[in-house]
Chain A
């Protein structure tokens, strides 16, 4: 079965610093979704990537899906305390869409003011 490896597992950065979170799959990805979760809350959808080489940005967050479609990165520029939380990637490696999404275990981000 598909497994998604997220790295790092946790990250502590000073406010204003840039950071990158990676999501790696052993299988080709037909779709890759990034979510953010705050403690005690649900998952908030950030971005969706489907094509190799695709890159999307929202405010200070940029996500990329590599050309071989087996890895995605999430980059935060000039981090703020509001960026703190758990970032999860979810992937479709079967082509069956969201019926068989697999999720990574998450990267916990702390931003120190």
Chain B
């Protein structure tokens, strides 16, 4: 059982370049999330998708766009990367977005923007 799969695992970008982070889950979960993890800041929610066809902003959405491609896949796009977006990005999913449904995380994408 793969769970939540993220690609790529590592990426180096130059300022201004664009890229898309991919995430797929095989647990038939309804809700999916993108977080970033920075030293001293903890995990912060970028965007989430409560169900297929919907997306909403989280705590730190500026500079990012998302697409819920289907029930399994949720991508995160950086249109014009900035050094402040250097971070570790985690995708997560859960069956229901309400209380009582723990998040399942992928292994992360380590992004460096120079």
Contact = CB atoms under 8 A, between A and B. Distances in A.
29 contacts: A31-B100, A33-B103, A40-B107, A41-B107, A41-B108, A42-B4, A42-B90, A42-B105, A43-B90, A43-B103, A43-B105, A45-B104, A48-B102, A50-B100, A88-B42, A92-B99, A95-B99, A98-B31, A98-B97, A98-B99, A98-B103, A99-B31, A99-B48, A99-B97, A101-B103, A103-B43, A103-B44, A104-B42, A105-B41
Nearest to A34: B102
Contacts of A30: 99
A50 B98 CA distance: 12
B101 interface: yes
Interface of A: 30-31, 33, 35, 40-45, 48, 50, 88, 90, 92, 95-101, 103-106
B111 interface: no
Nearest to A46: B102
A91 to B, nearest CB: 11
Which 9 A/B pairs are nearest by Cβ-Cβ distance? Answer: A97-B98, A42-B105, A103-B43, A43-B105, A105-B42, A42-B107, A97-B99, A45-B102, A31-B99
B42 A106 contact: yes
Contacts, number: 66
Q: Which of B31, B41, B42, B105 has the most CB of A within 10 A?
A: B42
B97 A88 contact: no
Given A95-B99, A98-B94, 5 more contacts: A42-B4, A42-B90, A50-B99, A97-B98, A98-B101
A55 to B, nearest CB: 17
B21 interface: no
Contacts of B99: 30-31, 50, 92, 95, 97-98
